[in-house]
Every structure is written in structure tokens, then in C-alpha cells.
Amino acid sequence: MSEGHRWSPGEVIVLQDVYEAKLWAARPVIVVEDSADVLALWCPQGTVRKVPVTPGSMPAGVSRGEWLARALARLDWPLEDAPWDVSSLMLHREGDWHAVWLSFLESGEQWGWYVNFQEPYRRTKRGIQTMDLALDIIAEPARGSWRWKDEDEFALLIEHGVVGSETAARVRQEADLVIGRIERDEPPFDSAWPQWTPDPAWELPTLPDGWAIL
């Protein structure tokens, strides 16, 4: 894909999570906006995506964080279909080590903000590639209120060598920046995105041919 190419609203692209040149997850998403400021993607409730599941080689009884770290360290996981459980608008900025998600209830009311720490996205012919780094922040609709999520899983990824020390430090630095924006009510947390509504003509996106090609 040429560096200047942008997608049009309503196009379906693939958001791939990739670790060590192996597909970790794939989901179809609808392009809302693709501009110099933001790549906004819509993943409505019920969208079927490909997700990693516990491999048969994993010992029984390990925690979710432990199997996540072990599977990535061993490059050992199968993929299965799974429906997405909450409609989400995903806001990406080029070069950021995070994406900001807005979750919506079935009524259309905003549920809250979700900061997903991940590798900066890369464009492909079919969509974008990144890699979820486990650590998250949940920010309530009430301004300035936030909390950590999955710090234990992030620590296990570091312990198992899946996330290196430089990457871990970069994520923590990014988290400090995001927390400051939340507490100061700065973009995108002060934006009009919570009032956004999807085009009623849009259907559930499905994975197109070639969704697994990296």
C-alpha cells in the first residue's frame, strides 16, 4: 500500500495483531474516518473475529495471564471464531503506542473509554497491523476518573521475555502521557466522539478473503 493511501468511510478492513511474524488475532472493522488526525474504526457488537485460544500443549489450570505469556513465548496458539461483545469505536493516531476505544451500550449510551496499549499501527493492503501489549486503562465517562486494567498480565509478558525492557519503558511513558490527558480532560477525552452514531445502513463487518495474510 502506498503511504498516502487512505480508506473511505464504510470500507471494511482487517485489524491484525501480529507477534514475531505470526498472526495473533484478526478482526474486521468499518472505517469511520481516515485522516491526518485519526484513523477511527468501528467494531459493532456481534462482529465475528479470530482470537487465540489455549493450545492443547498448555498445562491445565494456568491463569489467563500465564497462558497468554507462555503461548506468546512459545509461538504456540490456535485461532477460533468469537463474537465481539460490546460495540466499540477505536481511535488510532499514527505513531502512538495506544489506541483509545469508546464502548457503547445497546441503547447507544457511552459505556466508557478504554485505552489499549499496543504497538504503533502499520498499514497493509488489507488494513492495519499492531500487537496488543496487555496493559490497559479504563476511564469512566465522568471526566478525570481512571483505573489500570491487566497490570498482572503486562508483568507476566515482561517476565517471560515477550515484552522487552525498552518496550515496557516506552509503554509506561505512553501511559503517563495518556493519564495526564485524562486528568486534564484533553483530546480525545474532551471530544464529540461520545455523541457519534454509526451509519444505520452499515451491516456487521465480516473478515474478507486474505484476512490471515501478513
Handedness of CA 120, 125, 127, 132 (dihedral sign): negative
Q: Where are the domains of the chain?
A: 12-191
18-75 per-position pLDDT tens digit? 999 999 999 999 999 999 999 999 999 999 999 999 877 777 678 889 999 999 999 9
142-186 per-position pLDDT tens digit? 777 899 999 999 999 999 999 999 999 999 999 999 999 999 999
Residue type, 2: S
Classify domain 12-191 at the CATH superfamily level: FomD-like (2.40.380.10)
Q: What's this model's pTM, rounded to 2 decimal places?
A: 0.94
In the DSSP assignment, the letter for residue 153 is: H
User: CA-based Rg of the chain, rounded to a whole angstrom?
Assistant: 17
